Amino acid sequence: MQIYSSEIVKIGEQANLFLDEGIVVFFGDNAPEELQDFALIHKLVPITGDIEVGTKINLSDSNMEVVSIGPVANENFKNLGHLVLKLDSSTDEAQLGDVRCKYDKKPDIKIGDTLRIIN
Amino acid sequence: MSNYKKVKVQAGPSGWGGPLEIQPTDEKKYIVCITGGGIHPVAQKIADLTGAEAFDGFKSSPEGSFKAMACAVIDCGGTARIGVYPMKGVPTIDIHDTTPAGPLAQFIKEENFVSGVSEDQITEA
């Protein structure tokens, strides 16, 4: 079941600082300007479920699957549209707010691309 | 002359960094809260003790942006917000138990960051 689907509306000027290290940082379009600089901004729509181990995430041309999730990740996503994906395929315990994923390829992200989260 | 009082913010039992002394001034007069769910009690307590104004960073940006922030209160899970505000020179208080990490970790020091903070760690200085 799809629990979230939205569109990337902005790519922060410094988002590459994180992307280069395999970290995808999202904020909703209500986030303060200083945070938007470092993130991918998606149009906020309601999320209808929790991200869990095994959740599938489709971003641009990349297919990911959650292998580990931090205890505050869902809360941050629901409250702020804030999501941190770590593309390292590691099954080590995720940091508090992180969602660790395995993936088929690193995403090539453009404005207008979609973010879909499916349980 | 500003009439703001100073507060001391210590790390929680499992936190890191600090202690920080937060002294708002006429130029840096906002306790900016960048958390889910409006003004967090930690930001409210700092505002109450110092006499500065608590400001919800998700509703709008304070006039003067970083230069007007006495401190930033975040609920960061350890990767993004944790580094942004220290990098911009804003003393940063995380309510979660985080330690420096992420691409901006180099900017996070004991002198500008403290984590694991609840209302109990905030005292008059």
Residue A92's CATH number: 2.40.33.40
Average of per-residue pLDDT across B118-123: 98
The letter for the amino acid at A41 is I
Of the candidates B76, B20, B74, which has an alpha carbon nearest to the alpha carbon of residue B50?
Answer: B20
Cβ within 8 Å of residue B45, ≥6 positions away: B119, B122
Instruction: Categorize the per-residue pLDDT at B2 as very low, low, confident or very high, splitting at 50, 70 and 90.
Output: low
Chain A residues touching B77 at Cβ < 8 A? 70, 72-73, 76, 84, 95-98
Supply the pTM of this predicted model: 0.94
Residue A54: exposed, middle, or buried by beta-carbon count in 10 A (0-12, 13-18, 19+)? exposed
Q: Could you list the residue range(s) of the whole structural domain that residue A85 is in?
A: 2-118
ipTM for the assembly: 0.91
Residues facing residue B8 across a β-bridge: B21, B123
Chain A residues touching B61 at Cβ < 8 A? 32-34
Average of per-residue pLDDT across B101-113: 96
Q: Of A20, A70, A78, which is closest to B77 when you measure between CB atoms?
A: A70
Instruction: Categorize the per-residue pLDDT at A80 as very low, low, confident or very high, splitting at 50, 70 and 90.
Output: very high
Instruction: Categorize the per-residue pLDDT at B63 as very low, low, confident or very high, splitting at 50, 70 and 90.
Output: confident
